[in-house]
């Protein structure tokens, strides 16, 4: 028969082949996507609170800093530990003594927390001599208010 191959004319079935190159491409694409997604996440050392939104939010590096959280019930947390007012002041002074002039503090407060609680935290931070303070916020969605 014209145009037929010799394998088809001999009657033996064609052997199946697994192409591994496209599979490797897909796996590397998924790996790269996962890595980029993971790197874009900002991890907070504080307790979970609903951060207020801000149009001017910037990413920050939490390395070498501690997080003070103000919950919606106006309770304070140092990193993930709930603390009393006295414990907060004690940990703040210890942190300043250990970190020295490079002490950095992240403040994240629930959007329902009272402003007086945030003012109290900022006053105590200034009394301790810490000048590098960052306030964590959520990025305001485009076109949102």
For the segment 74-90, what is each residue's pLDDT rounded down to a tens digit? Answer: 899 998 889 998 999 99
Helix (H) or strand (E) holding 54: strand 53-54
What is the structure's pLDDT at 28? 92
Query: What is the domain partition of the chain in residue ranges?
Result: 12-40, 53-139
What is the structure's pLDDT at 3? 53
Angstrom distance (rounded) from CA 85 to CA 76: 7
Angstrom distance (rounded) from CA 50 to CA 110: 5
What is the structure's pLDDT at 91? 92
What is the structure's pLDDT at 84? 92
pLDDT over 90 (residue 135): no
Q: What CATH class has 53-139?
A: alpha beta
- The pLDDT-based confidence of 16 (bands split at 50, 70, 90) is confident
Q: How far is CA 111 from CA 99, 114, 144, in A?
A: 29, 8, 16
Mean pLDDT of the chain: 81
Angstrom distance (rounded) from CA 85 to CA 120: 10
What is the structure's pLDDT at 39? 66
- The pLDDT-based confidence of 59 (bands split at 50, 70, 90) is confident
């Amino acid at each position: 028969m014209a145009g037929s191959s010799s394998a088809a004319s001999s009657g033996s079935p064609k052997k199946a082949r697994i192409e591994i190159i496209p599979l490797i491409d897909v796996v590397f694409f998924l790996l790269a996507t996962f890595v980029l997604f993971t790197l874009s996440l900002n991890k907070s050392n504080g307790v979970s609170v609903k951060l207020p939104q801000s149009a001017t939010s910037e990413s920050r590096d939490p390395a070498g800093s501690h997080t003070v959280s103000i919950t919606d019930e106006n309770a304070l947390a140092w990193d993930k530990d709930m603390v009393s007012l006295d414990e907060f002041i004690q940990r703040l002074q210890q942190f300043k003594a250990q970190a020295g002039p490079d002490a950095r503090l992240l403040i994240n407060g629930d959007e329902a927390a009272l402003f007086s609680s945030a003012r109290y935290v900022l006053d105590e931070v200034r009394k301790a001599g810490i000048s590098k303070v960052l306030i964590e916020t959520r990025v305001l969605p485009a076109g949102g208010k």
